[in-house]
Amino acid sequence: MTVTTEIIARAVIRRDGHLLLARQIGKSWYFLPGGHIEPGERVEPALVREIAEELGTDAKIAGFVGVVEHGYTEDGATHHELNLVFEIALAHGDPTSQEDHLEFHWLPLAKLADTDIRPTTLKNALIAFDADRTPFWRGWNG
């Protein structure tokens, strides 16, 4: 069995007490916008590129939030990923999905704990981050 490590840049985008979340159409759970970093690509430009591709707007890195290592099995394959999380400021406040398979929702921050956001370790780290603003590292317990 071959397992590769994927490096994913994720965006924390807030507006008026809400957090922007992505969901693959047909799935019941959410995740932070962003995507895979290509081999040799720098992290911050990759995230800006992913936001432009997904939301059709320019973005600016506003700060580092943390890193979550995560693993899961899907369709018999084991996945290992590092999620590099940054706060993002959007050039346009009302982004629209540019991807046919993705939809985006503004979730009230008060509902964060009760919403199925994956990886769960990342959701829990975001809740703790909001309380004390300390960047985080969460290793994979898998």
Report residue 9 as tokens.
Answer: 């840049």
Domains, the chain, with CATH or none: 5-137 (3.90.79.10)
Q: From first to last of its 142 residues, what are the pLDDT tens digits of the chain?
A: 677 899 999 999 999 999 999 999 999 999 999 999 999 999 999 999 999 999 999 999 999 999 999 998 888 888 899 999 999 999 877 888 999 999 999 999 999 999 999 999 999 999 999 888 999 999 987 4
What kind and span of H or E run contains 45? helix 43-55
The pLDDT value given to residue 94: 80
Distant-in-sequence, close-in-space partners of 105: CB < 8 Å, separation ≥ 6: 20, 21, 23, 30
Cα 60–69–79 angle (5° rounding)? Answer: 110
pLDDT for the residue 1: 65
